[in-house]
Amino acid sequence: ETGVTQSPTHLIKTRGQQVTLRCSSQSGHNTVSWYQQALGQGPQFIFQYYREEENGRGNFPPRFSGLQFPNYSSELNVNALELDDSALYLCASSPQYRGNTEAFFGQGTRLTVV
Amino acid sequence: AQSVTQLDSQVPVFEEAPVELRCNYSSSVSVYLFWYVQYPNQGLQLLLKYLSGSTLVKGINGFEAEFNKSQTSFHLRKPSVHISDTAEYFCAVKKAGNMLTFGGGTRLMVKP
């Protein structure tokens, strides 16, 4: 059984550009969540996707958007990048969208905005 | 709204000594509680979780935690730490759905 995989592992972008980060969920998991972890801080919830629809969102502006595909993989898109978007972006998958299920995290994508 | 407070940002400890990492949460409803570990340049790995039942939960790598509802705490303990336990530790709570609310993290530094 493969775990959660994210690509790319590192990325450098210029302020104002757009970026797409990708996540393959663990086999059998239909729910994907994205988190932003700024340096020295705990992860912050961005949003969650279940069956290709967003069903929960944290305090992030609309320029943070996502997609979930029929195979449950997911993308995080960030438009008009700002310097403060520099962070580790973590994807987590779960076998269902509610209840006492744990989230399994990928290794993350380190985004640097210059 | 729920929040998680990890009372110590850094905890230095000598190898083979016991350690406790403190976590307090605020929530008006029942929650599920988790501890994750993050090694440098890596994602999060689940150490243990409290869902219901016994308030003392055991996890991987010899860690355990005790849920105290009256004090809204979920402190993490290990009786004897190793150099390899040096990492960042995050306490997290989950209410509805799968959204996790994390604390700010505690850096455990194990010294020889």
Using CB atoms, which residue from B43, B45, B97 is nearest to A56?
B97
Report the pLDDT value the prediction gives residue A42, as an integer from 0 to 100.
Answer: 95
> What are the DSSP calls for A23-92, one per residue?
EEPPTT--EEEEEEE-TTS--EEEEEEETTEEEEE-S--TTEEEEE-TTS-EEEEE-S--GGG-EEEEEE
Using CA of residue B17, residue B86, residue A43, residue A76, what is the dihedral sign?
Answer: negative
Residue B2 has pLDDT above 80, yes or no: no
Report the pLDDT value the prediction gives residue B41, as an integer from 0 to 100.
Answer: 82
Which of B50, B99, B106 should be substituted to probe chain A, the one whose Cβ sees the most A Cβ atoms within 10 Å?
Answer: B99
* Confidence class for position A1, pLDDT limits 50, 70, 90: low
Other Cβ atoms less than 10 A from the Cβ of A57: the count is: 14
Decide if A98 and B44 are in contact by the 8 Å CB cutoff.
no
* Confidence class for position B30, pLDDT limits 50, 70, 90: confident
A24-41 b/e with 16+ CB inside 10 Å = b?
Answer: bbbeebbbbbbbbbeeee
| A33: nearest Cα among A84, A96, A78 | A96
- Between CA A67 and CA A22 the distance in angstroms is 10
The residue whose two tokens read 């989230």 is A103
CA of A107: which chain B residue's CA is closest?
B43
Residue A57 has pLDDT above 70, yes or no: yes
Which of A100, A109, A110, A112 should be substituted to probe chain B, the one whose Cβ sees the most B Cβ atoms within 10 Å?
Answer: A100
Give the Cα-Cα-Cα angle B75, B51, B86 (nearest 5 degrees): 40
Report the pLDDT value the prediction gives residue B27, as an integer from 0 to 100.
Answer: 77
Using CB atoms, which residue from A97, A105, A110 is nearest to B97?
A97
- Between CA B15 and CA A112 the distance in angstroms is 35
Residue A98 has pLDDT above 90, yes or no: no
pLDDT tens, position by position, A58-74 = 999 999 999 999 988 99
Report the pLDDT value the prediction gives residue B96, as an integer from 0 to 100.
Answer: 65
